[in-house]
Amino acid sequence: MVFSRPASKSVKTTVGEAAGRLRAVVFDWDGTLLDSYHADATAYREMFRKLGIAWGIAELEKHYSPNWHRVYRAAGIPRRRWEEADELWRSAYVHLRPALMPGARRVLRQLARRYVLALVTSGNRARVRGQLRKFGFSKMFRAAVFAEDARHKKPHPAALKLALARLRLRAQECVYVGDSPEDMEMARRAGVRAVAVLGPFPNHERLRKADVDALLESLGELPGTLERIKH
């Protein structure tokens, strides 16, 4: 089911005109195309254990953000230990093998016939590129922006604006698809239409309150939603 945000008649006309020029679909990776919450949470818990922090899944779910520095601050990890925390997380994650979200491969192949596809992720380059190779997606995305490519993290729009520049497209020609409120805020701040997909991460309540053009229960609804946005 699709939940569209309310809009006045004049706003609908503007959105429809912009959507008629839709040329690119830019995706988030973790939680949107990759079912990575269990792996992510497992790596976090191992990191917390080695740092001597008494955090479990309840605390992580309460404070989770794709901007992991927010998680570090909430957990009381001093800045001087952030690099250590990063390495502990990566060391734990490397042994885990998250799968694709249901329907991800089919949806990407379907959309690739009509749109340019791109990726903007908070994930680090080495990890995400390895996963893209594993799933045969190395050539799927015309542009990919990773954590190292932008100084500011989501919801800052820098990473998405960089993707637009690499694609040589205007904001109104693109839509961003993500699974977090930070994704949606980033899209809005970049002037890009925002489509949210309820994924495995613990943010559904906040995501339902976010400013979006459409809220999807599953990724499989995306192709039809893009057609409705265009018209």
Per-residue pLDDT tens for 133-179?
A: 999 999 999 999 999 999 999 999 999 999 999 999 999 999 999 99
Kindly write down the DSSP assignment for every residue of 31-87, as one continuous string: TTTEE-HHHHHHHHHHHHHHHT----HHHHHHH--SSHHHHHHHTT--GGGHHHHHH
In this prediction, residue 230 carries a pLDDT of: 66
Contact between 114 and 28 (Cβ < 8 Å): no
Q: Which residues of 118-155 are buried (b: 16+ CB within 10 A; e: fewer)?
A: bbbbbbbeebbeebbeeeebeebbbbbbbbeebeebbb
In this prediction, residue 10 carries a pLDDT of: 27
Q: What is the DSSP letter of 30?
A: B
Residue found by looking up tokens 């250590």 in the block: 84
- CATH number belonging to domain 2-35+99-230: 3.40.50.1000
Q: What is the pTM of this model?
A: 0.87
In this prediction, residue 6 carries a pLDDT of: 37
Low-confidence ranges of the chain (pLDDT < 50): 1-20
